[in-house]
Amino acid sequence: MFDLMLLGMGPDGHTCSLFPSHPLLQSTLLVDSLTDSPKPPPSRITMTLPLVNASKWAVFIVSGEGKKDALNRVFNDGEKLPCALVNAGKTWWLSDGAATSGIGSHVVEWKSIE
């Protein structure tokens, strides 16, 4: 397993190639594949939640206004987008001000970078 996973998040809240409402979110394999990705390319190989969640640390790096809606849905609305399903030993979020605009101060382990 990994000590540290450095992750990104798409505007729809996906991480790795784990997309919202996709059956791959239920995979019990450590690495899996898909041929019906909603974003190009359609065929991908990805780490799954069991592998990501077995990490000691997961750090998301998120930037840009295009990510603001997904972050709001996760942190303010409690929506279980794929990025919100990451539950490593410790999970931290690093972001710029554009992505975090509108996110309340109730988020605990939040670090904003400019």
The CATH code of the domain that includes 76 is 3.40.50.1360
Q: Would you call 23 helix, strand, or coil by DSSP?
A: helix
Q: Read off the pLDDT of residues 32-78 as tens digits, 9 standing for 90 and up.
A: 999 999 999 999 999 999 999 999 999 999 999 999 999 999 988 99
As beta bridge partners, residue 45 has 33
Cis peptide bond N-terminal to 82, omega within 30: no
Give the pairing type, strands 90-95 and 4-7: unpaired
Residue 72 to residue 110: CA distance in whole angstroms:
13
Q: How many domains does the chain have?
A: 1
Please state, rounded to an integer, the average pLDDT across all residues of the chain. 90
pTM score, two decimals? 0.87
Q: Residue 17 corresponds to which amino acid?
A: S
Q: Read off the pLDDT of residues 7-41 as tens digits, 9 standing for 90 and up.
A: 999 999 999 999 999 999 999 999 999 999 999 99
Structural domain of 34: 4-112
